[in-house]
Amino acid sequence: SSELTQDPAVSVALGQTIRITCQGDSLRNYYASWYQQRPGQAPTPVIYNRNNRPSGIPARFSGSSSGTTATLTITGAQAEDEADYYCASRDNTGGHLEVFGPGTTVTIL
């Protein structure tokens, strides 16, 4: 199956560490990429190729992967990190397909 799953929501205190997971069979073959989406805005990439950050993304964002699970970690969460986070991957098992996870809503307390 090409489906990706994520926990619906996570809440952490300011300055704490957030870990968001994404699970799916396609992650055995391809790394996930991660996107931050604030209300009313387009998604913005924060991690790709397991643990690469696009230019301008703070170093507190990091990624890891093991088996069918990818993890986005935000170390020392800031108020501006409150957003929805989506993982994405591709799956070539039945022809080319790209999929997004259902998203995790991050709340900073």
Question: How many CA atoms within 13 Å lie on the side-chain side of 9?
Answer: 4
Q: Kindly tell me which residue out of 12, 50, 57, 75 binds other proteins, with binding defined by CB under 8 A.
A: 50
Nearer to other proteins, 56 or 79 (CB): 56
Q: What single-letter amino acid sits at 32? A: A
Q: Kindly tell me which residue out of 7, 64, 75, 90 binds other proteins, with binding defined by CB under 8 A.
A: 90
Q: Are strands 5-6 and 97-100 parallel, antiparallel or unpaired?
A: unpaired
57 binds other proteins (CB under 8 A): no
Q: Kindly tell me which residue out of 9, 14, 97, 109 binds other proteins, with binding defined by CB under 8 A.
A: 97
Nearer to other proteins, 18 or 32 (CB): 32
CB 43 within 8 A of CB 36: yes
- Residues contacting residue 44 through CB under 8 Å, at least 6 positions apart: 35, 36, 37
Nearer to other proteins, 10 or 99 (CB): 99
How many whole angstroms separate alpha carbon 45 and alpha carbon 11?
A: 21
Site residue total, other proteins (CB under 8 A): 28
Q: Kindly tell me which residue out of 48, 60, 69, 75 binds other proteins, with binding defined by CB under 8 A.
A: 48
